Amino acid sequence: MTETTATPTSDRQRPDPEIARSWLLVNATQTDRFDAAARSRADQIVLDIEDAVDPKAKPEARQGVVDWLEKGGRAWVRINDHSTPFWSDDVDALRGLPGLLGVMLAKTEAGEHVTETYDRLGSSVPVLALVESALGIELAPSIASARGAFRLAFGSGDYRRDTGTSADDMAMSYPRSRLVIASRIGDLPGPIDGPTVGSSHPVLREQAGIAVALGLTGKLCLDVEQLPVINEVISPTPSDTAWARDFLADFEGRGRIIRDGSDLPRLGRAQKIDRLARAFGVQPSS
């Protein structure tokens, strides 16, 4: 394992995790990548000690994460699922670390998995539930409503392996939509889509656009090259930002008077676009 010194991510202001678009997964055995990930354009980084790590290498990988966080690093950590013996070791090792922003709980299949993780970590660390199976998708509303649940994410690769579903957009629309509905039921921010495998930016742009159309508001990513595309597609467009600010200015100018039944839905959309545009630094088109 390579010795690293953590670079605090406070040098770069990141969007709040509730609205974070790009979630960069970093293999926890590759500690030499941690600092570069922290300096990247990712809205949030996730050090992965689950699927990316061979079982025999998990203790060393876990310790590498702990060491980096203790030296000033700040990140989320994807921990092993509740059914494995690694889960207990993960939460015990991470509990109380100041640099731990939250955990991504792999293969979440019950609300109790979220709550037990949350309680073991000290009831102050948010739990991002990664849903990766047919059972998890069907129980998504109870997972989203569990105490400690912060946001849902879609483990699309494992879901396909579990169900035999193809990667076709139509086939994947049900689980994605299910997570969107569950997030609304649980009063959580929009869910995070699974990663797109490959280096094709047009494919990534298309996949991110489909996720946005279905109501997802973030995306896992596997490489820093994907970050600019994900951040752009999931952000409001300059033209939408211009429309939103024009609408809000007009609404204020007429004394906030509702003229017809379409005003309230448009007001809500304009306020959301304006809020996200300001958070992401999107400037309106002229």
Residues 109, 228 within the same domain: yes
Query: Cα–Cα distance between 282 and 242 in angstroms, integer?
Result: 10
Instruction: Indicate whether 96 belongs to any domain.
Output: yes
DSSP 21-75: -EEEEEETT-GGGHHHHHTSS-SEEEEE-STTS-GGGHHHHHHHHHHHHHTT--E
Residues 209 and 127 in one domain: yes
* Count of other CB atoms within 10 angstroms of residue 35: 16
Shared domain check, 256 and 216: no
According to the model, what pLDDT value does residue 285 have? Answer: 87
Domain count, the chain: 2
Secondary structure of residue 145 in the 3-state scheme: coil
Tell me the residue range of the domain where 189 lies: 9-234
Domain shared by 70 and 44, yes or no: yes
Q: Report the run of H or E that residue 220 belongs to, with start and end.
A: strand 218-221
Question: Does residue 154 share a domain with residue 18?
Answer: yes
Alpha-carbon distance of 181 to 197, in angstroms, equals 25
Residues 6+ apart with CB under 8 A from 53: 27, 28, 29, 61
CATH number of the domain to which 222 belongs: 3.20.20.60
Flag whether 2 is in a domain. Answer: no
DSSP class of residue 12? S
Provide the residue type at 163 as one letter.
Answer: T
- The conformation of residue 148, written as its DSSP 8-state character, comes to T
Same-domain pairing of 149 and 247? no
**Same domain? 124 vs 141:** yes
Instruction: Kindly state whether residue 97 falls inside one of the protein's structural domains.
Output: yes
Inside any domain, residue 187:
yes
For residues 129 and 258, membership in a common domain is answered with no
Per-residue pLDDT of the chain (286 residues; tens, 9 = 90+): 444 444 343 346 789 999 999 999 999 999 999 999 999 999 999 999 999 999 999 999 999 999 999 999 999 999 999 999 999 999 999 999 989 999 999 999 999 999 999 999 987 899 999 999 999 999 999 999 999 999 999 999 999 999 999 999 999 999 999 999 999 999 999 999 999 998 899 999 999 999 999 999 999 999 999 999 999 999 999 999 999 999 999 999 989 888 888 989 999 999 999 999 999 999 998 7
Pairing verdict, β 22-27 and 75-79: unpaired
Q: How far apart are CA 184 and CA 167, in angstroms?
A: 25
What's the confidence (pLDDT) of residue 198? 83
Q: How confident is the model at residue 57, as a pLDDT?
A: 96
Task: Give the per-residue pLDDT at 11.
Answer: 42
What's the token pair of residue 249?
A: 């200015």
- Quick check: helix, strand or coil at residue 261? coil
Q: Is residue 1 part of a domain?
A: no
Max CA distance (Å), the chain: 66
Residue 102 lies in a domain: yes
Instruction: Find out whether 221 and 153 touch, Cβ atoms under 8 Å.
Output: no
Residues 88 and 201 in one domain: yes
Token digits for 52? Answer: 């990316």
Contact 231, 191 (CB under 8 A): no
Kindly state whether residues 69 and 46 are assigned to the same domain. yes
pLDDT of the residue at 124: 87
- Burial class from Cβ neighbours inside 10 Å (0-12, 13-18, 19+) for residue 166 reads exposed
Rounded Cα gap, residues 100 and 97, in angstroms = 6
Q: Are residues 36 and 131 in the same domain?
A: yes
Residues 202 and 264 in one domain: no
Identify which of 90, 95, 93, 92 has the alpha carbon closest to the alpha carbon of residue 105: 90
pLDDT computed for residue 12 by the predictor: 60
For residue 4, is it within any domain?
no
Residue that finishes a domain, picked among 214, 234, 254: 234
Beta-bridged to residue 76, according to DSSP, are 46, 102
Q: What is the pLDDT of residue 6?
A: 41
In a domain, 171, yes or no: yes
pTM of the model: 0.92
